[in-house]
């Protein structure tokens, strides 16, 4: 057997239908496109809805700017940290285990409510009010740098 004897498998190659090659054949003249109309003449552009105002033009333009580098934080208020025992170190993992933060990512502590327990709180960010309330209760804060 030589290279020029090789043939493709039976049925693997299908002949392309040549349309618009004379009136004698089945697909001559209008080439299977029917008569007249937009679709018979050329391509219909993407999003064309037959002259009706397209859906994309009906939608309002969105105003403003969406920052692709925005940092997303899961927020936890100071009052929710009162559930921990006095003198303990509260890390983001502890907050997630306690059900205070539902998703992964960075955690920010906000200053709503009161705290009467001295804690060492480790989080990725603190509001100034939260930092003041934790320190006033006799606790300390630690800002984490990791993700």
Residues of the chain predicted below pLDDT 50: none
**pLDDT, tens digit, for every residue of 108-145?**
999 999 998 899 999 999 999 999 999 999 999 999 98
- List the Cα angle 102/107/109 in 5-degree steps: 110
pLDDT for res 147: 54
Q: What is the CATH number of domain 73-143?
A: 3.100.10.10
Buried residues in 3-17 as b, exposed as e (16+ CB within 10 A): eeeeeeeeeeeeeee
H or E segment and range at residue 143: strand 140-143
pTM of the model: 0.56
The helix or strand, by DSSP H or E, that contains position 97, with its residue range, turns out to be helix 92-97
Instruction: Show me where the domains of the chain are located.
Output: 19-62, 73-143
CB contact set of 92 (below 8 Å; sequence gap of 6+): 101, 106, 107, 122, 123, 124, 144
For residue 136, the surrounding DSSP H or E stretch is helix 128-136
Phi, psi (degrees; rounded to nearest 5) at 29:
50, -90
């Amino acid at each position: 057997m030589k290279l020029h004897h090789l043939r493709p498998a039976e049925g693997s190659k299908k002949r392309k239908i040549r349309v618009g090659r004379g009136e004698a054949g089945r697909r001559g003249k209008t080439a299977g496109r029917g008569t007249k109309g937009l679709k018979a003449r050329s391509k219909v552009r993407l999003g064309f809805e037959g002259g009706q105002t397209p859906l994309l033009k009906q939608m309002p333009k969105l105003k403003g700017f969406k920052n692709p580098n925005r940092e997303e934080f899961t927020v936890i208020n100071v009052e929710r940290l009162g559930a921990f025992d006095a003198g303990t170190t509260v890390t983001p993992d502890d907050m997630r285990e306690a059900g205070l933060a539902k998703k992964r990512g960075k955690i920010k502590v906000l200053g709503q409510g009161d705290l009467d327990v001295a804690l060492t709180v480790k989080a990725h960010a603190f509001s100034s009010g939260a930092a003041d309330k934790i320190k006033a209760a006799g606790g300390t804060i630690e800002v984490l740098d990791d993700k």
